[in-house]
Structure 1
Amino acid sequence: MSSTTNARPRLAALNAMTKRASLAIFALTATTALVSVPQSVVAQTFVFNNVQIEGTQRIEPSTILSYAGIARGEPVSAGQLNDAFQNIQNSGLFESVEIVPQGNTLLIRVVEYPTINRIAIEGNRRIDDEDLAPLLQSQSRRVYSPSTAEADANEIAEAYLQQGRIAARVQPRVIRRSDNRIDLVFEVFEGGVAEVERIGFVGNQQYSDRRLRRVVETKQAGLLRAIIQSDTFIEDRIQFDQQLLEDFYASRGYVDFRITGVNAELARERDGYFVTFNVEEGQQFRFGQVSVTSDLPEVDIPAFQSATTVRTGNIYAPQLVDRDIERLERRAVEEGLDFVRVEPRVIRNDRDLTLDVEFVLTRGPRIFVERIDIEGNTTTLDRVVRRQFETVEGDPFNPREIRNAAERIRALGYFADAQVEAREGSSPQQVIVDVDVEEQPTGSISIGGSFSSSTGFGLNLSFAEQNFLGRGQQLSLSATTTADTERYSFDFVEPALLGRDLAFGLGLSYARTEQDNSDYNTEVARFSPSLAFPISENGRLRLSYTLESTDLTVPDASDVGGIVRAEAAQGQVIKSSLGYRFSYDTRRTGLDPNAGVLLEFGQEFGGVGGDVSFVETRARAVAQRLAFSEEVTLRATLEAGALNYLDGDSSRVTDRFFLGSSLMRGFEPGGIGPREVGPGVDDALGGDYFAVARFEAEFPLGLPDEYGVSGGVFYDVGTLWGVENKDNATGSVLYDDASIRQVAGVSLFWDTPLGPLRFNFSEALQKEKEDREQNFELTISTDF
């Protein structure tokens, strides 16, 4: 009965009471109170004594009841029934759910999701199934989930997005099979690559757009866009480019440089991006006063001050500060001062645009390295990674050294990624260094062929491995054969002999020529082990031994002069020599990012056994500088050599120097220097001495950067002289007087996927009549 029906008799009774009451106010109050009582509403409820479940195949009814949460015999509201429906539906086990109350029986009908029979990916040509499969959460013999399949489709699309294919679409399709099974197929539409059509900069005053484009990894789409992948728009690469720009400006003293924004605008056709970096360069700062201070009584301030390398007036660069911190911390270890840390304090002087740097030596926390854990190196041995650390277990922990070790590990080139992190060890005073690496291929095999009208067909085979057997060793094998030549070589380098910075090298080679560019035959076999090690921060010394067998023969019908015939009459000659080579390279420390100097000097002493005694000396000096806002590269090279035979021995044509294009451009190999000339005779003899100076400049041509084309000019001047066996000549020996040759030319540089090519066009400014010019040459462009 409703509450309204019950109120009526009570209201009548109260009215009777008011007639008998003596005070009318009591009746009025009581009547008002009763009229004000709200009427309550009771929601519909159900009581189920039985629950019936239909449609289950793999899933137990008790599982469905646990999701529903409905107990038999207890009142259940409509809201609770709706909650039960949502719980069953959200379990992800059923394609459809229906709840139907039937008296005291609750009917639950379900349709289970099918089981995945197989998973296939179709339409993918750019990315293999093996690379996409690990991205999928859906698996065979598991229950199909539409939400999981959609997430998998998004993961595949993201993989294509990382390759610059923003138009890629992935659609999951279901193919019904018997026994409630399905085949799940991901249909892929790859779309085209979204290339970077243009890279621009706004706000740059000191460096041009062209110079800054050389800094970033992302490149503009060019003529070889089908091959070059760096012109693909990848968001992560743009973020890396921002860091490269910041490092570039910081290393040149622009400490206030910042990137205010990066705009990547998609073209209307959705096939290309226009990327713009908005920058603020700020002012260039230089080093002001550089000092070393400490409150530790055992620190010898003058000794530490002398260890610094930065000087007042140098352009400020954070890496130079870091390098001096390393030097000071290394000096502290040498002095037996453990746990000494160097804190740089930089004081800014805006008036004269200088930064004073004070290196403060303080006592750091007493923390030790408990252990170094290395993971991910399935091929590379642990010791190859471990030797990149100057710290070992038990040493004081130095965060800076750990960061430097991480950079050395990445610089090996063995790993696609290397992460080095430190975490607390078994106690707060100990740390564990975790090294996680991802290996990548380090070997290559090449097979090639050649054809020449003079030598016929040739075959080239080569194998190179930079991480041989995971030991960090370098191994290379090569073989080249034609109808008239054979060349074989074997080279091996162990970069850390006995676990130290001591490189052991071993070279074996054999070469045979039959009238190759000459009228005589040669056969040369060489064995040469070596040791190389650092002797200073920029200096390195190489010690070597060479055992060489040389055989020079002249065919009877050959038109060869008397000098070469006399030298061939000596037969096989064995040379045994010891040598050294010292190199000083400022690029090791990079004190000036715009300039570098390389100095080399070496000698070889023959007579340690063998048939001949000699001293061979070579020297080279190279200086390079970037000028005109780093748009132009200026380079100067001086190189010379001397070959002195002792004890009455003399050099042969196989021993003497020849000025090829690597030493002096504009002439053929053997095209300049002493020659024996006579009737039917024209022999290039080489020389015991040479001296060459090369000057060149490289600069942009104003062409679009995406072409990868730049220009250059060069000027070479040099000479070659010195032949001892002139008494054996049957003709005239020309140009043994150190006569000068001069060459000028222009170069065209082209960056291609095959490597940086260089086209040289030259003209001899000064030459001799019998010299052999080479006005055009194609080479691989190299830096010093």
Structure 2
Amino acid sequence: MPVSAKTPVYFHSFSYITSNDPPLFSKTSKPASKSTNDLFLESCLLSSGVTSSKTIGSLNTSISTFVTDMHDTECYEKFNATLEPAKDESGNIIPQAVHVKLEAKEKNWYRIHIGGDLKQSTDGISGGGSMGSSNLTIPEVQMTSSLTLRNLSGSCGLSKVAYNVSQTGSTSFNLGHVQPVFNEVVGKGERRYGVEYDEVDWEEERSYRETKKGSAPSSTGSYLQTNWSLTLRNILPTLHPTIPYAHSSPSEIISESGPNLKHSLKLTAASNGAYLRKDKYVPGRGIDSKLELEFAGPPGDTGFIKSEFSSSLHIPLYSSLLTHHICLNSGILKVLNFGGLCNPVSNVSDRFFGGGVLRGFKKGGIGPRCKTEGEGGTLGGEVYHNASFQLSTPFPHPVIEEMGGRVFCFTNFMALSNLKDVASIKAVKDSTRVSVGAGVAVPLASLGRLEASWSKVLRKGEGDLVQPMQFGLNFCVG
């Protein structure tokens, strides 16, 4: 009987063999031992739909998803799945039953890494979305030393300890564990546990450095993420270059310096580029969205409710030669003092910071500022809106076009202020900055996109820091 994609079959059983290298100095020829346990593999087969497939076509699709998921765990050098006729205990073929033969080469159980890496620091705004506001940055280069332990429990978990030193002298240390989760109901996800110490250098934009010590376990599904954190933060004003024990930071920053404890729960719902076509970072069509809600309160001394929403729509025009991109973003931070248990004023570490995400302005270049003039006097705001309207077309050179590069022109609008300053629509309108321009964007696989742009600022506020030419990496996702 001819076999087609609609030929009815059902999953019967599976087997798993490995081709791991034998242990060093081994004097025996025992078969390769396997680290991954069968119960974990069975749950992966279940979540990817292999066990519930009813036809050859759906089974092949589910097997492809399963193999991709196993490669994504970073525990295998290779992983293959082969379909075979299922047999009973007597060796007779069972009609319409399929046996899945899994063959893999597992990676070494440990990995030591000493070398360079890139450090990313959020600026308080989640980003402009795919082909949205730029969020351009030149990431810090850091030296890192790390030890990763793979698949010790047989369920493809990764345990890692790392120590990093950035080019500005900031250090960080983290000890954590990532456990992939495959569930038939919520799909593919992961759980993260760990503790960390991190130093962030904000001296150029905000005139202070910040240290963070704490723990932030999280649980992530295909579209949902829950994150709980307990973090002791310390704001350190910039030291004066010539006067011992003195600070050069503005008085507004010095007044907010010192330690504070943040205890929060964050909920995130995001499509994560699942509905974007061609490329996640430089899409040709599709829709993407993200919603974040964060609640902070006792036992911490910082209390607030914070929400951010971003969405992007990409519409192809004229047989995909031209694409219209519409990107909208907004955020609001409302202080909660819980009857005096928390600070009645928002903390500078929790506010939104504009510029960078708005083409034509420097990072931290718009919004509330210190009375002292200078580039390091940004204080951040409690509410913002950001809109971008673009037209893009494939890059005219065939090599860059093949890489997914696009030429675009844009109009950006953004306002960033404190809640007390936006009592009316007119106040919001008066605080909105506007820029227009053009640029080039090229996706760099999972790193983001490389972007260069030129902007003409049409509207700015007093004290804003303008930067017409911008070049850097964009880490915005959807």
Q: TM-score of the superposition, structure 1-length normalised? A: 0.44
How many Å apart are 1:640 and its aligned residue? 1.2
Structure 2 residue aligned with 1:530: 218
Q: 1:740 to 1:609 in 2, by over 3 A?
A: same
Once the two structures are superposed, the pairs formed by residues 231-270 of structure 1 within 5 Å of their partners are: none
Structure 2 residue aligned with 1:381: 36
SS at match of 1:677: coil
Once the two structures are superposed, the pairs formed by residues 270-289 of structure 1 within 5 Å of their partners are: none
How many Å apart are 1:448 and its aligned residue? 3.0
Q: 1:736 to 1:589 in 2, by over 3 A?
A: closer
**1:485 matches 2:177:** no
Structure 2 residue aligned with 1:562: 251
Cα distance in 2 for residues equivalent to 1:491 and 1:738: 46
**1:420 pairs with one of 82, 85, 90:** 82
Counterpart contact for 1:616–1:642, Cα < 8 Å: yes
Counterpart contact for 2:262–2:297, Cα < 8 Å: yes
Cα distance in 2 for residues equivalent to 1:617 and 1:387: 35
Segments of 5+ residues of structure 2 without an aligned counterpart are 21-33, 119-139, 240-244, 278-282, 422-426
Counterpart contact for 2:415–2:428, Cα < 8 Å: no
**1:775 matches 2:462:** no
Deviation string 1:340-382 (CA, Å, 9 cap, x unpaired) is xxx98xxxxxxxxxxxxxxxxxxx97x7644211234646625
**2:64 pairs with one of 388, 407, 411:** 407
Deviation string 1:608-642 (CA, Å, 9 cap, x unpaired) is 42113211111111222333322334322211111
Counterpart contact for 1:561–1:681, Cα < 8 Å: no
SS at match of 2:320: coil
**2:303 pairs with one of 582, 599, 613:** 613
Once the two structures are superposed, the pairs formed by residues 311-330 of structure 1 within 5 Å of their partners are: none
Counterpart contact for 1:627–1:633, Cα < 8 Å: yes
Amino acid at match of 1:448: G
Structure 2 residue aligned with 1:436: 103
Structure 2 residue aligned with 1:577: 264
Structure 2 residue aligned with 1:741: 433
* Aligned pairs, number: 398
How many Å apart are 1:449 and its aligned residue? 8.7
Once the two structures are superposed, the pairs formed by residues 757-772 of structure 1 within 5 Å of their partners are: 757-772=450-465
Cα distance in 2 for residues equivalent to 1:596 and 1:449: 32
SS at match of 1:659: coil
Counterpart contact for 1:685–1:723, Cα < 8 Å: no
Q: Percent identity?
A: 19
Counterpart contact for 2:434–2:458, Cα < 8 Å: yes
Cα distance in 2 for residues equivalent to 1:665 and 1:461: 32
Cα distance in 1 for residues equivalent to 2:52 and 2:374: 75
Counterpart contact for 1:369–1:395, Cα < 8 Å: yes
How many Å apart are 1:438 and its aligned residue? 5.4
Q: 1:705 to 1:420 in 2, by over 3 A?
A: same
Counterpart contact for 1:689–1:720, Cα < 8 Å: yes
Amino acid at match of 1:700: P
How many Å apart are 1:529 and its aligned residue? 0.9
**1:512 matches 2:167:** no
Q: TM-score of the superposition, structure 2-length normalised? A: 0.69
**1:626 pairs with one of 316, 337, 345:** 316
SS at match of 2:249: coil
SS at match of 1:408: helix
How many Å apart are 1:508 and its aligned residue? 3.9
C-alpha root-mean-square deviation of aligned residues, in Å?
4.2
Q: 1:624 to 1:680 in 2, by over 3 A?
A: closer
Amino acid at match of 2:165: T
Q: 1:509 to 1:594 in 2, by over 3 A?
A: same
SS at match of 2:311: strand
**1:597 matches 2:287:** yes
**1:642 pairs with one of 332, 340, 348:** 332
Counterpart contact for 1:369–1:431, Cα < 8 Å: yes
**1:503 matches 2:190:** yes
Q: 1:368 to 1:411 in 2, by over 3 A?
A: closer
Cα distance in 1 for residues equivalent to 2:397 and 2:468: 25
Amino acid at match of 2:397: L
Deviation string 1:504-561 (CA, Å, 9 cap, x unpaired) is 1235443335672143332222421112335xxxxx3222211121112334532433
SS at match of 2:274: helix
Q: 1:542 to 1:611 in 2, by over 3 A?
A: same
Structure 2 residue aligned with 1:542: 225
Cα distance in 1 for residues equivalent to 2:62 and 2:450: 35
Cα distance in 2 for residues equivalent to 1:742 and 1:765: 5
Q: 1:761 to 1:680 in 2, by over 3 A?
A: closer
Once the two structures are superposed, the pairs formed by residues 10-49 of structure 1 within 5 Å of their partners are: none
**1:686 matches 2:373:** no
Counterpart contact for 1:480–1:488, Cα < 8 Å: no
Amino acid at match of 1:481: S
Cα distance in 2 for residues equivalent to 1:658 and 1:496: 35
SS at match of 2:328: strand
Cα distance in 1 for residues equivalent to 2:434 and 2:15: 60
Counterpart contact for 1:718–1:740, Cα < 8 Å: yes
Q: 1:679 to 1:404 in 2, by over 3 A?
A: closer
How many Å apart are 1:762 and its aligned residue? 2.0
Bigger relative contact order, structure 1 or 2 (CA pairs below 8 A, ≥6 apart): 2
Task: Judging by fraction of residues, say which structure has more helix.
Answer: 1
Counterpart contact for 2:400–2:442, Cα < 8 Å: no
| Higher radius of gyration, 1 or 2 | 1
Q: 1:387 to 1:402 in 2, by over 3 A?
A: farther
